[in-house]
Chain A
C-alpha cells in the first residue's frame, strides 16, 4: 500500500513568488492535513481538508491556502513568499469514519527554501 506522497521534495523560490505543493494521500483516506515545520516554531498545524472542504485551520495568514480534489489529493499554496516561509511542509492523511484513532500518516515533506 503506497504511503503519502508529496511533491516536489525540494524547491527554492525567491521572495515575492508563490509556490504550490502537492500531496497524494493513502488510498481510501479522505482527510488531508498540512503542517509547517521550522527550527524556531516546531511543527505547526496549517489546515485540514475533508471532502473537498476545509474544516480546521491553524493560525496562519491568508497567504497560506489549500484545496482538496474529489480524489482526495490536496494542494497547498503560499503566495507572496517571505524568508520566514522557509520550512519543511508536511502532509498527513487519515482515515475518517468510525472511531477516530488519532493515527495520521505523514509524507516525507516538501522542503521549501526562500531566498
Chain B
C-alpha cells in the first residue's frame, strides 16, 4: 500500500470549509484513497473514498488531482463536532483484505468557535 503524508494539525473556524490535504505520490493505478476520522475516545468512522473522480456524500467531498498524487478532503461547513483526527489511507480494494487498513498519524483538525 502506498504511503500518505498529512499535516500534523490544522485549525478551522466554525462554519467555514475545512480543507484537509493528503499527499500520496507513490499511489498505484488500482489503489483507492480513503478517509476516516476518529473523534476522541471513539472508534474511527468512515467518511468517503475515491479512485480518480471527485466524490461527494452527505459528510464531505473528496478532490483527487488528475495525476492522483494528492487529494483534499473538504468539510463544507465545519462544526465543533468535526474536531477529530482525520486519516488519509491508500489501499487496493480487494475482497481478500476488506478489513485491513494501514493508518498513518493523521491530521488533528481543531474547529474553533
Chain A: residues with CB nearer than 8 A to chain B?
4, 31-33, 35, 42-45, 48-50, 55-56, 90, 92-109
Size bracket of the B interface = 20 to 34
Q: Are A103 and B46 in contact (CB under 8 A)?
A: yes
A-B residue pairs in contact (CB < 8 Å), sample of 22: A4-B43, A31-B98, A32-B99, A33-B100, A33-B101, A43-B44, A45-B102, A45-B103, A56-B96, A56-B99, A92-B99, A94-B98, A100-B94, A100-B95, A100-B97, A101-B49, A102-B32, A102-B46, A102-B49, A104-B36, A105-B46, A108-B43
* Prevailing SS type, chain B contact patch: loop
Residues on A with beta carbons closer than 8 Å to the beta carbon of B49: 101-103
Chain B's nearest CB lies how many Å from the CB of A45? 6
Residues on B with beta carbons closer than 8 Å to the beta carbon of A99: 93
Given A48-B97, A55-B96; A102-B34 close (CB under 8 Å)? yes
Q: Are B98 and A100 in contact (CB under 8 A)?
A: yes
In the assembly, what is the distance between CA of A102 and CA of B49, in Å? 8
